[in-house]
Amino acid sequence: MDIHPTAIISPKATLGNNVTVGPFSIVHDNVEIADNVVIESHCELGVRNQRTGDKPLVVGSNSHIRSHSVLYAASSFGSNFVTGHRVTIRENTSAGKNFQVGTLGDIQGDCVIGDYVRFHSNVHIGQHSIVGNFVWIFPYVVLTNDPHPPSNVMQGVTVEDFAVIATMSVILPGVKIAGGCLVAAHSSVNRNTKANTIYAGSPAKAVGETSKIRLKDGSRRPAYPWPKHFKRGYPEEAIKILESIASDNA
């Protein structure tokens, strides 16, 4: 245990073995931190409001929460969870194993996120979003939810397994991004997409199959499905899944 003397840890919080908490960080009541977790400086974990009640914040083993992050109560994260700096995640969100969310990420709560998901910096995930496994979302992407704002109608976005949403795209309310899709940068998607298809523009249109994109590494191998060439940073059990996907599509 390596708790900095300036950190404020509630006696009602549960900390596993080998947990590090940096200077000026706060861990509130009912926070459950598993083994081998690093919490950097200036963080606040387990923020409560009317919607959280007494439900805990659960952080899985081997996680790393970078500085200035704020995580609410009533959310849970599987093992190997990693954040960038200044991440905000509101209540009632659950994420699976090895979720990574970059600097300035803003997850609004009431979201379900699968295993091995990667959000780059500065994504905005509206309430009621559903994100599958092995999804990639790039900077300044917004998943919206209100079809005629402001209103009480909430239509969350769904992003299926292995889909990729590139920089500065907006997914409009209720839209489903099908498995293996690629949404090109600076697009606005206003209807459901077909699997393994590239969408581009505002409003976005289908512009071909993802398999037609070639790797710019000199090999001219197909760039999609991306598990065929990219496995960096995943844990061993995820690499096995990626390898099986790659061979299915060989």
Q: How many amino acids of this chain bind a second copy (CB under 8 A)? A: 60
Question: Could you say whether residue 41 binds a second copy (CB under 8 A)?
Answer: yes
Question: Could you say whether residue 42 binds a second copy (CB under 8 A)?
Answer: yes
Q: How far apart (Å, rounded) are the C-alpha atoms in residues 234 and 236?
A: 7
Nearer to a second copy, 79 or 88 (CB): 88
Closest CA to 164 of 136, 196, 202: 136
State both tokens at 197: 């298809």
Q: Which residues 6+ apart lie within 8 Å of 6 measured at CB?
A: 23, 24
Q: Which residues 6+ apart lie within 8 Å of 179 measured at CB?
A: 132, 160, 161, 162, 163, 195, 196
Question: Could you say whether residue 81 binds a second copy (CB under 8 A)?
Answer: no
Question: Could you say whether residue 140 binds a second copy (CB under 8 A)?
Answer: yes
Question: Could you say whether residue 85 binds a second copy (CB under 8 A)?
Answer: yes
Residue numbers of the site for a second copy (CB under 8 A)? 6, 8, 23-24, 26, 40-42, 44, 47, 67-68, 70, 84-86, 88, 103-104, 106, 108, 118, 121-122, 124, 136, 138-140, 142, 144, 147-153, 155, 164, 166-168, 170, 172, 185-186, 188, 201-202, 213, 215-217, 223-224, 226, 229-230, 232
